[in-house]
Amino acid sequence: MSDFLTLLDKDAVGDEVTFNAPTDLIQAERLMAHIKESTDTKKRIEQIVKFVNDRAQYLLEKEDQKIAKATGFLQPFVKGIVAANLKSNPKAKKSIDFMLGSAGFRAGSTSIKILDEEKALESCHTLGIETIVKESVSKKKVKGYIDEGHEAPMGTEVDEGEETFTVKVVE
């Protein structure tokens, strides 16, 4: 863990390493040694980050469980008071204010599900409800068409990826 704290300290990062283009095999080997060392350091840092993230996620889930449990106990209490208030005053609030916040009930938002697209379109046309029909090009299908050896359709353009230089170190 002290490794991690050292890495977090901006002053402990050290001097900037400068590299020169290799002119012989020994200099190229030195560059590979630098790449290997940095790759190993990066892996250690990634392991530390994963550990910290996993622990933080666990702690967040524990707090969510505590919140859910407390909310479950609070809900019937608030429901009883709100029901009593609404009985005596139908325009009363559906919430209770506490010193540290409030709790109450809100109406859910309405949403629409389309079960049968054709019937829904026909019915909307009959009722005069505005409809929008969308049509778009599937990039995946166009790429598959081109990969089969065909020319790119008009209005499309193939963007060939650039060749990149890679370095792989032994593990």
CA atoms within 13 A on the CB side of 81: 13
Q: Distance between CA atoms of 71 and 78, rounded to whole angstroms?
A: 10
Q: Give me the helices (H) in the chain, please.
A: 2-8, 25-88, 117-127, 139-147
pLDDT tens track, the chain, 171 positions: 566 666 666 665 566 777 888 899 999 999 999 999 999 999 999 999 999 999 999 999 999 999 999 999 999 999 999 899 889 998 888 888 989 888 998 877 777 888 888 888 888 888 888 888 787 888 898 888 888 998 888 888 888 888 775 656 677
């940095």: which residue's tokens? 38
What tokens does 80 get? 């009883």
Burial (CB count within 10 angstroms: exposed 0-12, middle 13-18, buried 19+), residue 107 = exposed
Reported pTM:
0.55
What tokens does 92 get? 């009363």
